[in-house]
Every structure is written in structure tokens, then in C-alpha cells.
């Protein structure tokens, strides 16, 4: 009896996985007699029976099933490593890992990626739609470029502002407030208002603005999603104040965009982990994101001036 080696574990796993010695031998590019012989040696090594042989078939024992569970748990990590290796081998250029807030994955990132992949057709992109700031800088950021709202103070990442806007008012077409070019807080008095979630940082700024102006709105609906806010505005359920990138993506729907008299800044920032190797396509992506944001800012200005 002794410790198992890697070859024995592979033989055991293949036999359990495929159910017969013949299939295991084919999977391991070996022969049936060789696998049968190695299985006997395996049982000698572990010191207990792994398979019962009935009617020329192998039936795993309870101990074999328990051992297989542990073997599978170990091989999951190996399989993930191999998937990564195959991905790297098949990528002619490089793999770009992006972590982004969901809103940017919908209304900013696609256009920037289209430009990137026109210039870098062999780059592979992996997108994680979760807040990059939720990853631990202690264990290391698992992305090359992260997209967030606002700024971010950390020595573990460089922060680049790729877009700077003001929040905008979103109003159903035909609503009385749509007649005004610039809206002041008092215009929203007793008006149906659709809000972002309670913990949203922009919700807090907006609420503070109305509280300071002594304005009471009809706050019947709130949601975490800016896209959901726009859908509800388009259905005539109320007015809202949201980020301009999401608002612009709904400009062909029955809504009107209007300027707010008070500036509530909306920044789009790119995070680059300081201790992660620089990916060339990541640097290019930041440039395209900046260009797209500049174009969106000019488009927004033209709409607000109409």
C-alpha cells in the first residue's frame, strides 16, 4: 500500500467516467489489458476493493464512489486550467478581461468594442458585468479594464476619466414639463417621479437637491435599473433624472430629454490595475471609450439645444 500517482488517478477516473475498461483504454489511448492490469495495481496500492467484477463488467464499490467524488473535485481545477490554456492557444493576439457596470455593457461598451475589434480582429474579450470595485485589491483585480461611475481612490489602480456629463431629465412625450428647455427643482412639485434605488449614490444627490428646494414629488416607483426607469417613463408612468448615456439609448422612444438647472455630474471612469501587466488592446479600448463618450456628449448637447 502507498500513495497514488497521477497515472493511477487518470486510469481510475477514466474507468469511472466511461463505465468500461474498453472505453477507458480508448480515452487514454491505451489497451484493455494494460488498463485492467493498472486497475489491479491501483487496488493493491489503496489496499481495498474498488470494483466488483460481475458478468465481465466492473461495478464501483461505495469506497470507489467516494474516492471518485474527491478525484472529480480535484480535476475541476485542472479542467479550468486547460480551458484557459486552450483559450490562450487559440487567441492570436491576446485576451482582454473587462469588468463593467451593467449599464455600460449595454450602452457604451458595445460601440467601443466594435471599433477595437475592427483594428484588433484577433483579440478575445471576456466581460464581467459586476462592479469592478467589489473585487479585492488585496488578492488582485481580475480584469484589465474596469468601468465605473464616478471616481475611485486607490493606490492599487490607475483611474482615467473617459467621459464627463450632467444627469438629465427624462420626460414622457407630451408631458407638460416637456414644453420647458431647462427644468428647475420646483417644476417637479407634486409630479409623478420614478427614482433609482434607495442606496444609489445619484438617488441620494437628487433627493438632497429636492429637499433643499423644499419640493415634494410623488414617489410611487423606484428601481435599481436606469434602463427600467426609461422604460417606465416611455410608458408615461412619470418623469425621472438619470445618467445621459442610458437616456440617449432611448431617444427613439416616446421620451424627451431636458436639461436640469442644477448640475449633477456623471463621470465614466476606467480602472487599470496597477500591478497587472498592461494589455495593448486595453489601452486602445480606453481611447475608443473616450472617443465614444465625446461623441455622446456632443449628441446630447445637440438634443438638449433643440
pLDDT tens track for 178-217: 999 999 999 999 999 999 988 888 999 999 999 999 999 9
**Prediction pTM value:** 0.68
Topology alike, domains 95-164+267-304 and 168-263: yes
Contacts of 289 (CB under 8 A, 6+ apart): 108, 109, 112, 147, 162, 163, 268, 270
Q: Summarize the confidence of residues 211-231 as an average pLDDT.
A: 93
pLDDT of residue 74: 77
pLDDT of residue 156: 81
pLDDT of residue 89: 60
pLDDT of residue 28: 87
- Residue 134 pLDDT class (50, 70, 90 cuts): confident
Asked whether the predicted pLDDT for residue 279 surpasses 70, the reply is yes
pLDDT of residue 165: 95
pLDDT of residue 97: 92
pLDDT of residue 192: 96
* The CATH fold of domain 6-90: Arc Repressor Mutant, subunit A (1.10.10)
Q: Summarize the confidence of residues 243-267 as an average pLDDT.
A: 94
Tally Cβ neighbours within 10 Å of residue 193. 21
pLDDT of residue 81: 65
pLDDT of residue 88: 58
CA–CA separation, 57 and 195 (whole Å): 66
Q: Which of 62-71, 107-116, 125-134 has the lowest mean pLDDT?
A: 62-71
Tally Cβ neighbours within 10 Å of residue 93. 14
pLDDT of residue 221: 93
Domain map (residue ranges) of the chain: 6-90, 95-164+267-304, 168-263
- Locate all alpha helices (DSSP H) within the chain, ordered by sequence: 6-18, 21-27, 32-46, 62-90, 102-107, 109-119, 201-213, 226-234, 244-248, 280-304
User: Which class would CATH give 168-263?
Assistant: alpha beta
Asked whether the predicted pLDDT for residue 114 surpasses 90, the reply is yes
* The CATH fold of domain 95-164+267-304: D-Maltodextrin-Binding Protein; domain 2 (3.40.190)
Q: For 65-108, how does the pLDDT look when each residue is reduced to its tens digit (9 = 90+)?
A: 888 888 887 777 666 666 666 665 655 557 899 999 998 998 89
Task: Evaluate whether 225 touches 202 at the Cβ level (below 8 Å).
Answer: no
pLDDT of residue 137: 59
Contacts of 134 (CB under 8 A, 6+ apart): none
pLDDT of residue 78: 65
pLDDT of residue 259: 96
Q: For 13-69, how does the pLDDT look when each residue is reduced to its tens digit (9 = 90+)?
A: 888 888 888 888 888 888 988 988 988 888 888 888 888 887 767 888 888 888 888
CA–CA separation, 68 and 59 (whole Å): 13
pLDDT of residue 24: 87
pLDDT of residue 301: 94
Amino acid at each position: 500500500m502507498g500513495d497514488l500517482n497521477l497515472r493511477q488517478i487518470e486510469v481510475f477516473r477514466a474507468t469511472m467516467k466511461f463505465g468500461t475498461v474498453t472505453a477507458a483504454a480508448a480515452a487514454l489511448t491505451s489497451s484493455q489489458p494494460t488498463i485492467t492490469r493498472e486497475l489491479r495495481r491501483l487496488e493493491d496500492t489503496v489496499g481495498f476493493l474498488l470494483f466488483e467484477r460481475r458478468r465481465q463488467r466492473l461495478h464501483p464499490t461505495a469506497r470507489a464512489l467516494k474516492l471518485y467524488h474527491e478525484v472529480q473535485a480535484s480535476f475541476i481545477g485542472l479542467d479550468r486550467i486547460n480551458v484557459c490554456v486552450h483559450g490562450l492557444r487559440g487567441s492570436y493576439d491576446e485576451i482582454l478581461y473587462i469588468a463593467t457596470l451593467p449599464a455600460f455593457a449595454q450602452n457604451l461598451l458595445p460601440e467601443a468594442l466594435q471599433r477595437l475589434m475592427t483594428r484588433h480582429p484577433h483579440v478575445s474579450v471576456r466581460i464581467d458585468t459586476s462592479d469592478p470595485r467589489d473585487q479585492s485589491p488585496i488578492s488582485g483585480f481580475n480584469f484589465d479594464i474596469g468601468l465605473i461611475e464616478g471616481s475611485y481612490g486607490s493606490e492599487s489602480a490607475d483611474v482615467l476619466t473617459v467621459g464627463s456629463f450632467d444627469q438629465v431629465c427624462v420626460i414622457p412625450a407630451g408631458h407638460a414639463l416637456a414644453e420647458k428647455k431647462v427644468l428647475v427643482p420646483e417644476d417637479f412639485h407634486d409630479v409623478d417621479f420614478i427614482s433609482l434605488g434607495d442606496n444609489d449614490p445619484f438617488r441620494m444627490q437628487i433627493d438632497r437637491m429636492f429637499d433643499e428646494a423644499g419640493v415634494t414629488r410623488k414617489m410611487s416607483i423606484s428601481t435599481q435599473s436606469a434602463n427600467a426607469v426609461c422604460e417606465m417613463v416611455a410608458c408615461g408612468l412619470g418623469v425621472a433624472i438619470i445618467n445621459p448615456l442610458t437616456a440617449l439609448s432611448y431617444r427613439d422612444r416616446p421620451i424627451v430629454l431636458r436639461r436640469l438647472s442644477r448640475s449633477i455630474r456623471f463621470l465614466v471612469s476606467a480602472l487599470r490595475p496597477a500591478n497587472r501587466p498592461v494589455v495593448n488592446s486595453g489601452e486602445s479600448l480606453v481611447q475608443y471609450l473616450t472617443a465614444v463618450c465625446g461623441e455622446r456628449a456632443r449628441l446630447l448637447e445637440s438634443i438638449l439645444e433643440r
